[in-house]
Every structure is written in structure tokens, then in C-alpha cells.
Amino acid sequence: MSIDLKPYQEKAVNELIATTVKLLGYDGPGELCVFQAPTGSGKTVMMASFIESLIKELPQEDFCFVWMSIGKGDLHLQSKRTLEKFFGPFPRVVSVEAEFSGGRERIVQNEVVVANWEKLRTKDRSTGDWKNLVMKEGEKINFRDVLEKTKEQRKIILIIDESHVSADTARANELRDLIGADVTIEMSATPRRMQEDLGFMQKVIKGKGEAGYVMIEPKDVIEEGMIKKELVINEDIAKIAASEEDSQTVVLEAAYRKRLELKKAFGKEGSDVNPLVLVQIPTAEAGEQKIEAVKKFLAGKNITERKGKSGNGKLAVWLAEEKSELIDWISEPDNEIEFLIFKQAIDTGWDCPRAHILVKFRETHSIPFEIQTVGRILRMPEQMHYKNEILNRGYIYTNLRSIEVKKEEYNPNIIKHLRATRVAQIKPIKIQSYYKARADYGDVTSSFNAVFAKVANEYFGLKKDNTAENIKIIEKAGISLDIKKYQQEIIADTHVDTTAFDDIEGDVSADTFAKLSVHAGELQLFFEQTIKNNLGSFKNVKRSISPAKTAIYLWFESALGAKKWKEEFFMIQKIFQSDKNRGIFEHILVEAMNRYKFVKEEEVRERIEESEQWYDFELSHEQFYNEHTDEIVETKNYAYKPCYLNADRSQPERSFESFLNKNSAKIDWWWKNGENKQDYFGIKYEYQDAIYTFYPDYLVKFKDGRLAIFEVKESNDRDGLSYTKAKAEALQKYIAKQKNKKIFGSIVIERNKAWFINENPKYDWDKCEKDDWGEWENLEL
């Protein structure tokens, strides 16, 4: 199955391959790599791509894969289905129970074996004997024996899925010890080893080879539209509370209304996604009563279970003892089910991107909200963000009196549970705002495929759909396809005179050279290095290597029929890298990159045109914050009550806020802007032929009716000659176009305890560098 990976996914797969190749080079067993990827980033798909690519790129290596999930449930079976869908017939994916109950002696080359460790590890407390049949001693060979016999012939790569699901790293260590894999990859959104295994962390920090760490930044996943921008707790709950009798009804009514709002918004986007509400019932004895109460409420909204010929099927109930097929069926984007009641946390890793709202009733004991609790509503249903921002958020409704949010070190601002309400007296401002999704990462993308093929075909004069003729043509052009092995010269039998050792400088002259075959892993590194050396203007090397490799592979397949070659990728790399051929292929690659610049520029322009929006901006009725990233601040005339501001804001920004408070008599309200969302105010600007969104720091409404737009900078602003200049001039152009002539604004800078602005249409920072501040005026509020 061919899946186009997102850029961050391609980068992670490449890093996993490079790390694994490096770790396989050590004597082992026991080398460890931690793969940290946010919930919803596509860990299973990335690992599937990793397995497939590793097999193709290291065809001479003999290894197999053991995929283990930790924790209760059938996550391993869901992973098996995903892997089978991705791989097709090869490599083969099997479960331990189905294949290793006494008949087989070994895991075969490239095979992927999946299992649940909790089901395998159980022992009789009195005797210490294994309970699971595949682990027991007996006449038939058990799975422990299978692992030992497998290790006699081939290497094992162990993949531990959701490695955080245990009290500490002990369970993962127990599993590693039993399997004895040559390389172990622990993957999780919140790996405990990073906090608990000091020895491992020291190896990572010091760059020791036997420890690997691959991490995906949450912002990259959000920017690609894979997960929601934020999760909001109890939005608009106060509006409903006045008209309902009890907190349970309020929570359900809020979720019901929000689902209708989301369904309508999806329709306007042209999407048939049917948003799902998850209702989590307490695990205590009161749970059964709660289920009946929820069913009664939903029945009043004509949402009922389908039982025989009765009910409309808009409600489903899933309990721990029920089979997981129901869960998989519900995941379909247009499935009719609108509410799903479940009595305990759904399996970690369950993938239902249309789940948009979580209702969580109070437990008898305190349970902090954390990413594992709410991760089921984090994914985006169509792996993209929508124009309507309400679809880019997840919603949680709960009747807890107080909410404890566990700090997420990895993505600390994802759960928003602190609410601030806009001050009632604020009047509409109706100013135009600009928003666009990120369109360029400075990388080569899949559109390079056609460019490389065109340049290569033109260079050799190839004809379409005639592989045999094409091979003759390129061989006449000097390309050798009959590369038995790729060799590299190394220095040999060279003697160094120690009497003059201290005077030796520069290269040591070789007496002779030896030609040795290059290992498949090394050849891949040489191949990638050749690509790196010829990327031209594309500076994002990590994102660019994989698409460039793919373009080369595809050309060899389409023009020369490489898909039928034995060890296809290995052969392509040998042909490309051979001393006789490399110069020609590098020339083609350089020319293709030069032409691709113009293709990429047009591609970026089209992306921007598709994503950019202009709209009337207003301060939203509510804004939500997180106690671990935001702080409550005592201010005067702030637009929201209470006032929450980012705890990491700069010192110049804090000083400017003090300045606003001192002048509160002249100010109606002021507001601190944010970034990268339509809830915030943006201005379009260009820098070096690229289009960006500028989010000014502050909006300030004065009592005389003026509205100010301010961007705070330090007096020694290092970006003054570049980005700041572009932003300042874009701000003045924006103001000049506004119908409201009471709008003004500027870059603001503090000098000698006074604040200065510069409203000139041209921003000359060069003068400021020379201490010429003549164009700046004192900011008199």
C-alpha cells in the first residue's frame, strides 16, 4: 500500500533508519532507541514505513521484527491490521498466538510478529510457571525457545508500542531481557525512560553511539493538520447551566449542542464527517446508574441504541468485555453513531479521528487530565485543518468541581482548562485580519519526481514505455548497469617513518590501495551524502533526502524497469554511486534541482492561495489557557477577566505591559495577541519573495476612540534589518488601507525608560544601528 508520508514523518523514518543502522553495527544485543512522537502523529504508519524501508535498503542483512504492545487490551491486533493494510502480502505479519503455539521453530527473515506482553508474561504465583500456552515448558517448542533459535540465524529488532503504559520502565526492561533483541525501539508520546533512565539519557546527551533518540515536535504535527490545535474544557458551560437542573444534565446538553454545531460546520466545509461524542462513565458501582441516566437523556434527543428492529442506532455502548470490532466500525468517518458510552478508558492507541468531544463524569477519586486521557479526541478526521476554527479544536465537558491538569513536558499547552471571558463593555472593532497555513519548509517534495524524470530522459534521449531500448541508449551514453559490487579504495600497506613523525603534516601518501566491497548500510549513507551535496537552494536537508531518493528510484523503475531487479534499491544505489556513473548522475541531479526551484515556487504560491484567508477580526467571547504555560496577572483594563498571559513572554513585553497599566486612565482596553490561529489578529507581509503572517503583540483601544497595533522589540533588535523591517513596513501599508482612520500602530522600543514609535512607511534600522533615532517619536498615550 502506497502512503504519502507527511514531511515530519519522512524525516522521522529516515532518522530511525540511520539510527538503527548505527545501532546494528554494535556488538549487542541490547542497543536501544527511544522514538517519541505525539498522539495522533501516525506512529504505526511511520514504523511500518521504517520496517519496509529498512528491508529494502539493507537487503543483505538478515533480521526479523517483534512488535510488542504493553498494557491491557488488543492494541497489538489493531496494529497488526494496520501493518497488513500498509504492507500487503510482504513482509508477512503474524500474531504469536496464531503462529507459535508449538509448531514453528523460528521467526523467518523479514517477518513481523505481533503480541501483547501482558498476555504473555503472566505466571502462576505459587509455582512461578508461565500461564500462557505459547510460553509454557512442555513437549512442544514454546515462544521463548523460538526466540533463542531465531537469534542463532538472524538479528531481532524489537518494537515496543506505547512503552509508557506501566508504572515505570521496569516492564519494558523485563521485555527487552526476555527477547534479547539486537536493537529495541521504544515508541511513545510520553516515554518514561527519558525521565527515569539516567544512564540512557547520559548516553543520548553525550552522543554515545549505543543509544538513539528520535523525536517529533508537536508543532510539526499540528502544522500538518494531523491533530487538533488545542483541547478546550467546558466551553460556554455557564450559558447552559442557568437553564438546567443538575451538573450531569448540563454537561450532556453542552456536548449535545456542540456536536450539532460541529456537524453543521463540517457540512459547510463540504465534508460528510459525522462528529462523535465519547461519554466516559466512572468505573465505580455508580457506573451502571450513570449509563442508564445518559441513555435516558439521549433518548429525549431521539438518540438510541439499535436493538433488533427498534432504535435508530445513533447510540452505542462499549464495555471492557466486548469485542473490539465495534470500535473499529465506529471509526468510519461517516458512521451513523453520534454518541459512544464506555465504562473504562478506551485502549491506548485506538484510532477514531472523528471523535471530537469527550464527556467525563466525576470519579470517586481524583484523576488528573493528561494527554492519554483525552488523546482519543486529538486526531483530525481528514488529516487537515479547516477554515472554521471550531473544527480545529477538541472539546471536553466534565462535571468535576475542580480540574487538575497534569503538566505535559512534551506538549504542555495542548489542554486548555482555564477560562477567561471578554469584558462586557467592549464594542466591536471589525478590523481585517489575515491567516494562512504554513506552505513551505524549504524542502524537496514529491513534485520533484516529474522534474527529475524529465531531466534524466532529456539527457539520455529516452523513449517512453520501452525499457529494453532505454537500457541500450544509456549504456551507449557511458552508463554501466552491470555493477556486481560497489567497492571503495582504502589505504593499504603504507609505512610511516617514525623518526620524522613530529614533522609530518597534511595527507599521508599511500604506498598502495586495496579495493573492498562496501556494506549496504554504508552504501546508503554514501548515496544520501551525494544527494545532500547536490540539493542546491533547498536548505532543509532532512526533509529533502527522502523525496529526492524516491524520485531517483521511480525514474529507474519507469525508465529501466528496476522494479524487476533483485535487491532493487541496493542495485540502484550501486549504479548511481559507481565511479563510472556518478559524475553523470550528479550532473542530472544538479540540473533537476535548478529547474525544480521554479516548480516549487509555483507549488508554494498555489498552497498559499488555497490556504490564505481575509476576515473581519473580533475578540472572541471566551479564551482558554493552561496553568502550566500561562500565568494570571493583575492588570488594569485588560480585555478579558481574569487576565492570563504567557509565562514565557519577553522582558520588553512585560515592561510594555507595565507602561500600559501606568497609563490606564487613557486606555479603554488592551489585549495580548497570540500566533498561528484564526483567534488571533494577523497581517500579511513578504520577506525575500516569501509570504508570511505577522502577529503584532498588542491591540490597545484608547478612550478617545483610537485603536493601536503595537509590536514590541528590543532596542538592539538583531532582526531589525530583515524580518522586523518587513513587518514594520507591512504594518504601515495595512494601516493606510483601512477605512477607519483612527487606527495607528508601529514597532515600539524602550530607550532610557521611555517608549518610542516609528510610523514611517520605510523602516531604516541601519540608522538605529548607528544610534540615529531621529525618526522615532516618544509614545504619548
pLDDT in tens, 538-566: 988 877 888 899 899 999 999 999 888 87
Summarised one tens digit per residue, pLDDT across range 304-337 is: 998 878 889 999 988 755 545 556 678 889 999 9
pLDDT at 111 over 90: yes
| pLDDT of the residue at 410 | 47
Ramachandran angles phi, psi of 43, nearest 5°? -60, -45
Give 190's pLDDT tier (boundaries 50, 70, 90).
confident
| pLDDT computed for residue 261 by the predictor | 96
Gyration radius of the chain over CA positions: 31
The residues near 385 (Cβ < 8 Å, ≥ 6 apart) are 225, 229, 391, 392, 437
Q: Indicate the pLDDT class of residue 722, thresholds 50, 70 and 90.
A: confident
Better-scored residue on pLDDT, 780 or 347:
780
Provide the percentage of residues in the chain whose pLDDT is more than 90: 38
pLDDT band at 205 (very low <50, low <70, confident <90, very high): low
pLDDT at 766: 75
Q: How confident is the model at residue 168 (pLDDT cuts 50, 70, 90)?
A: very low
The answer to whether 632 touches 642, Cβ cutoff 8 Å, is: yes
- Residue 649 has a pLDDT of 92
Tell me what the mean pLDDT of segment 169-183 comes to. Answer: 79
Choose between 367 and 766: higher pLDDT: 766
Confidence of residue 411 (pLDDT cuts 50, 70, 90): low
Cβ neighbour number for residue 661 with a 10 Å cutoff? 16
Least confident of 376-385, 497-506, 595-604: 497-506
* Mean pLDDT, rounded, for 742-766: 88
Between 679 and 53, name the one with better pLDDT: 53
Instruction: State residue 491's pLDDT score.
Output: 42
| Distance separating alpha carbons of residues 596 and 602, to the nearest angstrom | 10
The percent helix, strand, coil of the chain (3-state, each to 5) is: 40, 20, 40
For residue 165, pLDDT over 60 is answered with no
Mean pLDDT of the region 224-251: 82
- pLDDT tens per residue across span 355-409: 999 998 876 555 555 555 577 888 999 988 888 889 999 998 988 765 555 555 5
CA distance 415 to 418: 9
pLDDT of residue 438: 72
Average pLDDT over residues 418-423: 89
331 vs 641, more confident: 641
Residues 6 or more apart from 329 whose CB is under 8 A from it?
Answer: 335
- pLDDT exceeds 70 at position 284: no
Check whether 596 has a pLDDT greater than 90: yes
Residue 355 contacts residue 330 (beta carbons within 8 Å): no
pLDDT at 345 over 50: yes
Alpha carbon distance 699, 709 (integer Å): 5
Residue 3 confidence (pLDDT): 66
- Between 642 and 571, the higher pLDDT residue: 642
For residues 156-179, average pLDDT: 73
pLDDT band at 204 (very low <50, low <70, confident <90, very high): low
Who wins on pLDDT, 510 or 474?
474
pLDDT given for residue 581 in this prediction: 92
3-state secondary structure 310-338: ECCCCEEEECCCCCCHHHHHHCCCCCCCC
The confidence score (pLDDT) of residue 607 equals 81
Backbone angle region of 539, left / alpha / beta, with phi > 0 → left and psi within -120 to 50 → alpha: alpha
Structure-model confidence comparison of residues 51 and 411, the more confident one: 51
Render 136-170 in DSSP notation, one character per residue.
S-SSS--HHHHHHHHHHHSEEEEEEETTT-SSSTH
Evaluate if residue 515 carries a pLDDT over 50: no
Given its phi and psi angles, is residue 647 left (phi above 0), alpha (psi -120 to 50 degrees) or beta? alpha
Most confident of 343-352, 472-481, 673-682, 703-712: 703-712
pLDDT band at 130 (very low <50, low <70, confident <90, very high): confident
With H, G, I as helix, E, B as strand and everything else as coil, classify residue 211. Answer: strand
In the sheet that holds 418-422, the strands lie side by side as 622-625, 418-422, 640-641
Cell 485502549 belongs to which residue?
A: 347
Q: What are 259's three cell numbers?
A: 456536536
Q: What is the mean pLDDT of residues 81-90?
A: 85
pLDDT computed for residue 171 by the predictor = 64
pTM of the model: 0.66
Find, among 237, 175, 226, 234, the residue nearest to 32 by Cα.
Answer: 175
Q: DSSP class of residue 111?
A: -
pLDDT at 667: 95
Q: Can you read off the three cell numbers belonging to residue 170?
A: 521496569
Within its chain, how far is the Cα of 778 from the centroid?
45
Angle at 126 between CA 124 and CA 130, to 5 degrees: 25
Crossing angle between the packed helical segments 582-611 and 568-577, to the nearest 10 degrees: 110
Instruction: Using pLDDT thresholds of 50, 70 and 90, give the confidence band for residue 511.
Output: low
User: Which position has the higher pLDDT, 299 or 231?
Assistant: 299
336: how many CB neighbours lie within 10 A of its CB? 12
- Using CB atoms within 10 Å of the CB of residue 353, give its burial: 0 to 12 exposed, 13 to 18 middle, 19+ buried: buried
> Is the model's pLDDT at 23 over the cut of 50?
yes
260 pLDDT above the threshold of 90: yes
Averaged pLDDT for residues 336-342:
93
Percent of the chain predicted with pLDDT > 70: 82
Q: Which three cell numbers stand for residue 494?
A: 603504507
**Location of C-alpha cell 495522533:** 40
Does residue 86 register a pLDDT over 80?
A: yes
* Mean pLDDT confidence for 122-147: 77
What does the pLDDT average to over 254-267?
A: 96
User: Which of these, 431, 427, 426, lies nearest to 741 by C-alpha position?
Assistant: 431
Give the closest residue to 452 by CA, choosing from 595, 331, 570.
595
Give the span between the Cα atoms of 36 and 34, in whole angstroms. 6
The helices-and-strands tally (H runs, E runs) of the chain is: 24, 31
**Average model confidence (pLDDT) across the chain:** 82
State residue 2's pLDDT score.
52
- Separation of alpha carbons 86 and 190, rounded Å: 25
> In sequence order, what are the residues at sequence separation of 6 or more whose Cβ sits closer than 8 angstroms to the Cβ of residue 424?
none
